[in-house]
């Protein structure tokens, strides 16, 4: 019993362990990346205007960003998929169906919305999310809403809660004023 307690205490005090760390070796993490298989991804219905949840990206942008609450889909493959709506100050909209791989910080576009509210389905490739890149909204969704500490949300309701709150409680981010 004493030995078990010492092992538990030693494991908890491992140097270099970060909050949210899996405790796996670099080799184990590389094997998981290599063996990862993407789940089958059905395209959702186009977003309805009543289900759009706003989220904060940057005070430096006049664009507004939304996620369709009904589209949030955490997958068994560790990716979170969602419909993103980006609205310009003049009201023009861009609608995409995307996914974020939480463990690797990558994003993929599966489909682009058309004006007639149908999808143009042309899945892209996974690409790295850049923290200070042009598309900062991906970084915000990854770090602050859907993948706190690189761990995917477990349910769509958890994603909706994070968006309504202005950030996931485990992200460490402070919700912006007004949330």
Which residues in 101-136 are b (16+ Cβ under 10 Å) and which e?
bbbbbbbbebbebeeeeebeeeeeebeebeeeeeeb
Which residue's entry shows tokens 């010492």?
A: 6
User: What number of helices (H) and strands (E) belong to the chain?
Assistant: 4, 8
Alpha-carbon torsion angle 121, 108, 115, 92, nearest 10? -170
Query: pLDDT value at position 33?
Result: 61
Q: Which residues pair with 55 in a beta bridge?
A: 65
Distances (CA, A) of 115 to 50, 68, 95, 118: 18, 17, 9, 7
Cβ atoms of residues 145 and 171 within 8 Å: yes
pTM, full prediction: 0.76
Query: pLDDT value at position 10?
Result: 38
Tens-level pLDDT at each residue, the chain (179 residues)? 434 443 343 344 444 444 445 566 766 556 556 666 777 777 777 776 568 999 999 888 899 999 999 999 999 999 999 999 999 999 999 999 999 999 999 999 999 999 888 899 888 899 999 877 668 899 999 999 999 999 999 999 999 999 999 999 888 766 666 55
Cα(86)–Cα(7) distance, integer angstroms: 50
């Amino acid at each position: 019993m004493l030995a078990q307690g010492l092992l538990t205490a030693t494991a908890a005090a491992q140097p270099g362990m970060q909050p949210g760390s899996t405790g796996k070796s670099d080799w184990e993490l590389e094997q998981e990346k290599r063996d990862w298989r993407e789940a089958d991804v059905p395209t959702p219905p186009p977003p309805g205007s009543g289900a759009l949840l706003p989220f904060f990206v940057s005070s430096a942008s006049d664009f507004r960003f939304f996620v369709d609450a009904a589209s949030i889909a955490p997958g068994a493959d560790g990716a979170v998929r969602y419909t993103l709506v980006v609205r310009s100050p003049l009201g023009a909209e861009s609608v995409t169906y995307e996914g974020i791989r939480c463990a690797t910080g990558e994003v993929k576009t599966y489909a682009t919305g058309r004006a007639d509210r149908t999808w143009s389905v042309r899945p892209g490739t996974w690409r790295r999310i850049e923290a200070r890149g042009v598309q900062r909204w991906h970084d915000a969704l990854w770090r602050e809403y859907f993948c706190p500490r690189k761990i995917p949300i477990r349910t769509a309701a958890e994603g909706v809660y994070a968006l309504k709150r202005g950030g996931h409680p485990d992200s460490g981010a402070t919700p912006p004023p007004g949330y």
